[in-house]
Amino acid sequence: MDVQLKQIASRIKELREILELSKTKMAADLGISLEEYKQYEAAERDIPISTIFSIATLLDVDYSVLLTGESPRMDAYTVVRKGEGVAVDRYEGYHFESIAANFKHKVMEPMIVSLEEKELPAQLVMHGGQELNYCLSGQVRVTVGKNAFTLSEGDSIYFNPRLPHRQEAVGGPTTFLTVITE
């Protein structure tokens, strides 16, 4: 994960400098402190996936450019075979697999998320757009604002991700599909 974080941070810095954007402007546009932004760009702090999406928007690139260093190439369709999506491991116990990274001009981001049960609750996150979570296996507790919902296989929730939210495995590993729009 450290190698991937360093590569992402390096790509962000390079693109920011090419576009002649200051760290101060990036931090302000992201709604975070300058110190936090500097830590992201120096690979001293994990960058939440929602922040990677926001940074990509500010840099006017597809988020997959930040994750992989390659631009999406497909504009009619893209097929991703089981287990062959772009892996994004940002947090311990979380595994994200982007299943549309190679499609240009996406209006939504579908990912398969695998979670391990943890003793401590995951950090609450917020981001723009809308979000759908569809439980594929196991059980996932989705907290949105002050409400928590336990989803089992086949259950789904659609919500406003501007509200603080998190997902947690319940009773063992779980896998769910998340689709995020920005």
Q: Where in the chain is the domain with CATH 1.10.260.40?
A: 2-68
* 79: number of Cβ within 10 Å: 8
* 131: number of Cβ within 10 Å: 24
Confidence bin at 92 (pLDDT 50/70/90) = low
Q: What pLDDT is attached to residue 127?
A: 82
Q: Say which residues have a Cβ less than 8 Å from residue 3's Cβ, sequence separation at least 6.
A: none
Tell me the CATH architecture of domain 107-181.
Sandwich (2.60)
Q: What pLDDT is attached to residue 3?
A: 84
Over residues 92-102, the mean pLDDT reads 85
Q: Where in the chain is the domain with CATH 2.60.120.10?
A: 107-181
Q: Specify the pTM.
A: 0.80
Cα 148 → chain centroid: 21
Over residues 102-109, the mean pLDDT reads 88
In this structure, whether the domain defined by 2-68 belongs to CATH 1.10.3720.10 is answered with: no
Distance, in Å, from the CA atom of 6 to the CA atom of 102, rounded to the nearest integer, reads 22
Percent of the chain residues topping a pLDDT of 70: 97
What average pLDDT does the chain have?
Answer: 91
Q: In the chain, how long is the greatest CA-to-CA distance?
A: 48
pLDDT 10s digits, 19-54: 999 999 999 999 999 999 999 999 998 887 778 888
Identify whether the C-beta of residue 60 lies closer than 8 Å to the C-beta of residue 12: no
Q: Say which residues have a Cβ less than 8 Å from residue 78's Cβ, sequence separation at least 6.
A: 72, 100, 102, 103
